[in-house]
Amino acid sequence: MEYSIFKECIMEALKERFGDESKIEYREVLKNNGVKLDGLVVRFNDSLISPTVYVNDYYDSFIGGAEINEIADNIERLIKENSIKEDFDADRLILFENVKDRIVFKLINYDRNKELLKTVPHKKYLDLAIVYYISVKEDIFESASILINNSHLKLWNKTKEEIHEIAVSNSPNIMKPDLKSMNQTLREIMCRNEMDEDEEEEFEDCSMYVLSNKKKQFGASVILYENLMKDFSDRIKSDVWIIPSSVHEVIMIPSKYVDSASGLDEMICEVNATQVPLTDILSDHAYKYSRAEKCISF
């Protein structure tokens, strides 16, 4: 079965499940790094906000042997679990006064996102771009974000410079930095059920560190927090190589442990090509923080 037919079968199966109470349609959604996905949108009672399920990965499941009804059941469950209450005030996610304290920033690749950057306020940083989003409160959705686009600025009567200043102020408080040695990170992964999430481990001197934020969401942007890289490099008394493992985290290596920058770049390209989802790739090369110059370069 071709993908286009698969999409229609899924839509018909969901129409049977939700009936006339809903409006179901597909929308092409432009994601990070130019990836375009087919978002299945289900609206209830003309709601302004509705859950979106991307069906592209489900087609892979179908090719792998999953039945249409099985897939439709999974999508129905996801939509019901993530639907908002009927009395929800959509203005909470539209009006500036309601979201200004939740505006933060993230880093994406500049060249890979030229189409997206035409529609969103941004600031170029090296070969990357700083873009802005609303980190939605957990009492509304468990984990959600809304990318701020040019229409938001027009609605709010704000400039991108004003949004940038707000995001720079908010980000370290909302998306708190999380710095661990690689050993600490591995222990956390292997002993996740045994560790106290609030327990702070002592700083370890080692050859490799992982930097993200507490939410592990768009954590690569933490490298831009004021004085963070300076304080870290002063602590280890070294320049630092920054490996962009994804948009969600970076790996930091004291310069004394790196023989060749080209070797780092080759490793990054290989990992990006084989291990990192396309939408999560940040860059194909390493960056370096200079302790003397107090800046990042590439």
Residue 49's pLDDT is what?
66
Top-ranked range on mean pLDDT: pick from 76-90, 112-126, 203-217 = 112-126
281 vs 18 pLDDT, higher one: 281
pLDDT at 199 over 90: no
Residue 140: pLDDT band (50, 70, 90) is very low
The pLDDT of 272-295, averaged and rounded, is: 96
Element containing residue 183 per DSSP (H, E): helix 182-190
Backbone torsions φ then ψ of 192, nearest 5 degrees: -55, -40
pLDDT at 142 over 70: no
Q: What is the pLDDT of residues 10-29, one digit of tens each?
A: 999 999 998 877 888 999 99
Q: What is the pLDDT of residues 41-81, one digit of tens each?
A: 888 766 666 778 999 989 999 999 999 999 999 999 888 87
Strand order in the sheet with 36-44: 22-30, 36-44, 52-54
The pLDDT of 160-177, averaged and rounded, is: 97
Backbone torsions φ then ψ of 287, nearest 5 degrees: -120, 160
Residue 251: pLDDT band (50, 70, 90) is very high
The pLDDT of 152-179, averaged and rounded, is: 96
Cα 247 from Cα 280, distance rounded (Å): 5
Cα 161 from Cα 83, distance rounded (Å): 34
> Which one-letter amino acid corresponds to residue 45?
N
Residue 196's pLDDT is what?
55
Residue 125's pLDDT is what?
97
In 3D space, the residue among 245, 254, 227 whose CA is nearest the CA of residue 285 turns out to be 245
Calculated CA dihedral for residues 43, 79, 92, 175, nearest 10 degrees: -150
Cα 141 from Cα 151, distance rounded (Å): 23
Contact 95, 89 (CB under 8 A): no
**Distance of CA 269 to CAs 265, 274, 285, 297, Å?**
6, 9, 7, 18
Contact 79, 40 (CB under 8 A): no
Residue 106's pLDDT is what?
98
Top-ranked range on mean pLDDT: pick from 23-32, 87-96, 154-163 = 154-163
Q: What is the mean pLDDT of the chain?
A: 88
Contact 208, 253 (CB under 8 A): yes
Residue 181's pLDDT is what?
87
